[in-house]
Structures are given as C-alpha cells and as structure tokens.
Amino acid sequence: MDPQDFGHGRTRNLAASEATGDVLAFLTQDATPVPGWLSAHLEALALDPRVGVSFGPHLPRPDTSPMIARELTEFFASFSPDGAPALQGPGDEPFLSNVNACYRRACWQEIRFRDVPYSEDQAFGRDALEAGWLKVYQPGAAVLHAHDYGAVEFLRRYFDEYRGLRETTGHVEPVAPRESLSYVRVQVRGDRAWLAAQGVGGVEAARWTARSVVHHGGRRVFSALGSRADRLPPAVRGAISLEGRTDGGGGDHDATAVEAPPEPTGRIIPARRPAHSLDDTLRLLRDGSVPLLPVTADAAERERLRVAVVIPDFRQGSGGHRTICTLVRGLEARGHICSLWLHDPNGAHRGEADAVVRQRVDEWFGPVAAPVYKGFADWHGADVVVATGWQTVHASLRLDQVRARAYLVQDHEPEFYATSADRIFAEDTYRRGLYVIAASPWLRDLVRDTYGADGTAFELGVDHEIYAADPSITRHEDTILFYGRGATPRRATELGWLALSELRRRRPDIRVVAYGDSKPDWEQAFPYEFLGVVSPPELAALYRRATAGLVLSLTNYSLIPQEMMACGLPLVDLRGGCSEAMFGEDGPVELAAADPVAIADALERLLDDRAEWDRRSSAGLSWAAERTWDAAVDAVEHGLRECLRARARENA
C-alpha cells in the first residue's frame, strides 16, 4: 500500500483480509503486551459465541506523566470495578481501542472498519453492538502504552481526537465555562492526590500541578474546538491539528478548489445478523414446517409425556410466564418430563448466562425442575412441543424430532398491535395447525370461530395458600388498588387513570395505590402511591386491606381479578368480552362500560354501598374458591393428550 493511501479503517481492513486466522489481534507499534496478553483475549472471546471483540487496558509506563497515568488507570478500571472480564452489549458504552484489541473474524467480516480518518475503533464498537454482537473488556489482556506528549502537543492531539469522535459517533463536546472550571478543579485535585500517593511532593508536585491545570483546562478548550472543526478556517485547522489536517472532516482536499456539488449518496448500512422474531416467519414461509414424527394410537395414553415448552423473552412481573411455570410444575408433579426453551431472537437476554436465566425464572415465576435452555442448540425433541406466545410459534414449527405441536394461547395476541406486520403474523400463528390449549373457553371459541383452530380450554387457577381472605384484618377506608401496568396497553391504564382522576375530583381523600409495572405512570392529576412489581405474598396482604380493586382487561382476563376475589376484595373491570363471559353480567365483578365516568361510578358504588360491597365480596370468594391450579393442570394435561390423539387420527 502506498503511504498516501493509508487510512485507519482502510488499512486495518486490508491487514485483516490478508490474515488467515479466525482471531485477529491488533496492537499499535508503541504498545507492549504484558505476559498472558493473548491467552487472556482468547478467554474473553470464548465467554459467549456472540462475543465479537475483546479489548484490554493500557497501563502507563514508569515515565508517564501523572495526569495520563491516573487517567488511564481510573478509566480502564471503570469498565470492571471487580477486576473480572465484563460483557458489554447494546446500550453499553461503545468504547473500543485498536491499541489493544482482539476480534473474532466473523464479527470483522460482518462489520468491517469504517473508512474514516480517525476513531475507526470507536465506530466499530458502536456498529458491532448495534448489529447484535457483544464485546468484552478483559482486564488480564493488558499492554504498556501511553501517549505522553508535551503540553502543546497534547492540546493538538485532543483537537484531532474530538474531531474524529464527531465524525464517527456524532459526539459534540459542550461549551460550558462554569462546568469546565469545576471540571478542572476536580481533575487537578485528583492529580495532586495521585502524586501524593506516589510519594511525589515539594517542588516536583508544584511543577506537575501547574502542568495539570494547563493539561485539563486546555483539554476542555481544544476538545470543544475539535468537535466544531468544520466551522474553523482550513488554515486554523491545519495549525491546530497534530496531524496537520486541514479538512473539515473526512480527508484532505484543496479547500480553495471550486467543485460541483456531489451526487447525494446514502449511508451504507452493514449487514445485520437476524434480530427479529419475524426472521423465523421468513424461514417458515420459505422452507415450511419440519415434518412431525409418526404417532401411534397409544401415544396419548403413556403415563409420562416429554413436553418441551418454548417461551418468549420475559421480565419481572410477567403474568403469562408465571402461569406457564405454574402449569409446568403441575405437569411435573404428575410425572411428565418437561423442559423450557427460551426463544429470544430480539436479544432481550443477550449477555445473560444460562444460569442467570434459570435463576430469574425460578425467582420471578416460581421454581421448576425442568431444565431451562437459551436457544435450541441442545434441542433433543419431545412428544409435544408447546408454543406459548405468537413469537414462539414459527420457531416451534421448525423444530424436529417432535410428535405433535400444541399452542398454549393465553390471550388474543393480534390485538396487542395496531395494523402492522406483527399483527398479520400473530394472526397467522392460529392458522398453522397447532392444537390450541386456550386460557378460557371464551378464548378457545374466539380462535376456533375466527381462525378455524381446533383445541381445548382451561381456566386460570388461584393459589389458595397465598390468596385467601382474613376477616380479622381491618380494611383501609377509601383505598383503591389499581393494576397500572402501563407497559401492557391491553390493560388500558390511560382509561383507568382518567377514571381515578374523576373519582378523586368527587372524593379528594381517596387513596390510590398503583402496582404491576417497574416504572410509574408519571404526571397524573393527583398524588398516588406506587409499589412497582410486588411479590404474591405482598399482593395478598394488599388485597386484604384495600377497599376496592381496579383491573381493566381489553382482551382475555388475567390472574389479578380472581386473586383479588380470593382475598375478599371486590373489583371493577370492563363490561363485555372475556370479562363478562367469565364473570357473568352481574356476577362477582362490578363491570363498567369503557368510559372513565362509568368506571368512577362503579368504584364509588363499592365505596358507598356496604350491602353491594358485601354482595360482591361474598360472590367473589365463592367464584375464586372453584378455581384451582390442580384443575387447570388437569385441563392442560387433557389438552396435551388430545393433541396427540388428533395426530394419531391423522396417521391412522
């Protein structure tokens, strides 16, 4: 390569293309690896197959100035306070340094370095994380390296560095004189403490203190100038730049030449790995379902079935996952061999080890004996594979070594979306021939009548050991418990808040307690208490003390209403749909039209009319008493066997 063709990204791409190994290690000419450097990088790349790059610390040499020595030490220590390798994924700091880095070839081939004049490594770090790769900070992969220039050279380098950051990441250093003065004071104080810790004092400490003031003050000025290099005259840019660059960003050119405006060209977006649930849909539509194994007439009658349950990504407070795990525990108690398979194409659990996923399943949804797998690398087949959300269906249809496929339908999921591709493909899942096991007769009838899906139904159970009334406990007056899960639109939280605002206008002293989501709905028209995601025992305690509950269900009903009723708490839900089908027109639940005034009216009746409160509470206790998880598991087990019987009839 001709020296004039050098480019930080271009040249590294050329070097990588000429190399033959699966791992590409980069060092600059002035970096000296410490013992164990390469093996530490290889260990980092082996932490997870999605790790695309590892980078390590730059250690100061003995003659490095105190400002740079302290900065390097503290900066790299911040990536791993405990000194262990740190996995980094989307949303983490994209910092990367080719002074000391090691790349998986597959990652470099997908991303490649941008052809930019500076900070090609920072750009690669950002592009790799956006593409779904992980990177690792490996403290054990250290090099001796420090750019220790004179005072003026440092300022010119900062100009180039921040010009490069602007060009590659869009970062613009703010101009804030007051904050800058405070910054300089803090940094100089830190340098003096560093000097003292190194045993430096007297005249030498004073000399370095003066240098520290120039260093940090000049850095603020020249980094701000570098962020705005395109606004400076070419001659000024050339004089300030340590590299002598006169261009405003992107390469040298004759600034005095008159050029025709270039033809607009779009940014080249690097190819991405599959990162969306619809990738499974594409594979299914292109390649079709994997054929099922033959099923004999006695398959459904076997005492022990192998049941593989495919679950979507989750977070704390997910009622759907709690139901799944409760059913799995019940099936295991009946002797069935179960397994859980996390299907996470969007990377919600990227960077989480299998043990972490397993721990969260047990802590958040109750322990199961079943193994929990991330992805299908260890797939070993099943009598029945059970999809549990629309995002898992298309992937389940591509699994082999399976005798039958079922679909645990807990809600009419197309209604979760506006008119969109997600809605289209969610609807498609009900037409794919999976045997439906629906979480209410109403829901079973809906998918049967709308999509022609065959199946059975079960009703959600109540854990009566946790959710039970206690007449000895005195209830609070005028206390409304609101299931305000704003992250779930089908819970109509906006409608609930409007109704509560109207009720608060009428009764300024009511107490509103919201729960069910990790973040509160801010800026309501009145003050309220927020509890976040609450454990079942804590919920039961709340239900025993509140006056009324508010749970709004736009699609299938949820666990919350019946758990409230099991604690003797009357509640308000929406009229029509599944709620009315399950609870009756005038049953244990006070049903209201989807109107904030009507909902406020219904809540006020429960607050004012003691006879009505007693009637609803008593009816709710009776209704909930008939709902058990044993009955629910019996119905689900029956559905699994019916699924196999249907397959046997097809094979007959």
pLDDT of 461-482, one tens digit each? 999 999 999 999 999 989 999 9
Q: Which residues contact 198 (CB under 8 A, 6 or more apart)?
A: 66
The pLDDT score that the predictor gives to residue 606 is 96
Answer yes or no: is pLDDT of 267 > 60: no
The pLDDT score that the predictor gives to residue 235 is 82
Distance CA 168, CA 160 (A): 12
Phi, psi (deg, nearest 5) at residue 78 = -65, -25
Using 50, 70 and 90 to split pLDDT, how confident is the model at 340? very high
pLDDT in tens, 551-569: 999 998 889 999 999 999 9
* Helical residues (DSSP H) of 253-303, grouped into ranges: 278-287
What is the token pair recorded at 161?
């560095």
Residue 168, number of CB atoms within 10 A of its CB: 25
Distance CA 487, CA 484 (A): 9
Beta strands in 28-121 (DSSP E): 32-33, 51-55, 58-59, 86-88, 100-104
CB 478 within 8 A of CB 510: yes
Using 50, 70 and 90 to split pLDDT, how confident is the model at 513? very high
The three-class DSSP label of residue 402 is strand
- The terminus-to-terminus CA distance of the chain in angstroms comes to 71
Answer yes or no: is pLDDT of 251 > 80: no
Distance CA 128, CA 271 (A): 11
pLDDT in tens, 447-464: 999 999 999 999 999 999
Using 50, 70 and 90 to split pLDDT, how confident is the model at 258? very low
Between CA 582 and CA 589, with CA 584 as vertex, the angle to 5 degrees is: 90
Between CA 593 and CA 597, with CA 596 as vertex, the angle to 5 degrees is: 85
What is the token pair recorded at 95?
């910092």
Looking at the chain, the whole-number percentage of residues with pLDDT higher than 90 is 57
Q: Which amino acid is at 582?
A: M
Using 50, 70 and 90 to split pLDDT, how confident is the model at 276? low
What is the average per-residue pLDDT within 534-553? 94
Answer yes or no: is pLDDT of 257 > 60: no
The pLDDT score that the predictor gives to residue 243 is 73
pLDDT in tens, 601-651: 999 999 999 999 999 999 999 999 999 999 999 999 999 999 999 999 998
Using 50, 70 and 90 to split pLDDT, how confident is the model at 269? low
Kindly tell me the sign of the dihedral angle through the C-alpha atoms of 38, 41, 47, 51. negative
Using 50, 70 and 90 to split pLDDT, how confident is the model at 154? confident
Of the candidates 484, 509, 519, the residue with the CA atom closest to the CA atom of residue 498: 484
Residue 631, number of CB atoms within 10 A of its CB: 15
Least confident range of 304-308, 439-443, 540-544, 553-557: 553-557
Average pLDDT, the chain: 88
The three-class DSSP label of residue 104 is strand
Name the DSSP letter for residue 304: S
Instruction: Sort strands 134-137 and 58-59 into parallel, antiparallel or unpaired.
Output: unpaired
CB 435 within 8 A of CB 407: yes
Distance CA 51, CA 53 (A): 6
The three-class DSSP label of residue 271 is coil
* Helical residues (DSSP H) of 131-241, grouped into ranges: 151-169, 177-197, 202-227, 234-240
Phi, psi (deg, nearest 5) at residue 521 = -85, 105
What is the average per-residue pLDDT within 503-513? 95
Phi, psi (deg, nearest 5) at residue 33 = -65, 145
Distance CA 175, CA 160 (A): 17
The pLDDT score that the predictor gives to residue 51 is 94
The three-class DSSP label of residue 49 is coil
Distance CA 342, CA 392 (A): 9
What is the average per-residue pLDDT within 29-43? 94
Answer yes or no: is pLDDT of 4 > 70: no
CB 49 within 8 A of CB 104: no
Q: Which amino acid is at 372?
A: V
Using 50, 70 and 90 to split pLDDT, how confident is the model at 116? confident
The pLDDT score that the predictor gives to residue 148 is 64
The pLDDT score that the predictor gives to residue 304 is 94
Q: Which amino acid is at 10?
A: R
Between CA 599 and CA 314, with CA 581 as vertex, the angle to 5 degrees is: 80
What is the token pair recorded at 420?
């969109």
Using 50, 70 and 90 to split pLDDT, how confident is the model at 262? low
Least confident range of 90-104, 268-282, 310-324, 427-441: 268-282
The pLDDT score that the predictor gives to residue 277 is 58
What is the average per-residue pLDDT within 389-409? 95
Least confident range of 15-24, 281-290, 390-399: 281-290
CB 531 within 8 A of CB 513: yes
Answer yes or no: is pLDDT of 386 > 80: yes
What is the average per-residue pLDDT within 398-409? 96
Least confident range of 159-173, 293-307, 603-617: 159-173
What is the average per-residue pLDDT within 380-396? 95
Residues written for the chain: 652
What is the token pair recorded at 67?
């400002």
Looking at the chain, the whole-number percentage of residues with pLDDT higher than 70 is 93
The pLDDT score that the predictor gives to residue 74 is 86
The pLDDT score that the predictor gives to residue 7 is 79
Using 50, 70 and 90 to split pLDDT, how confident is the model at 270? low
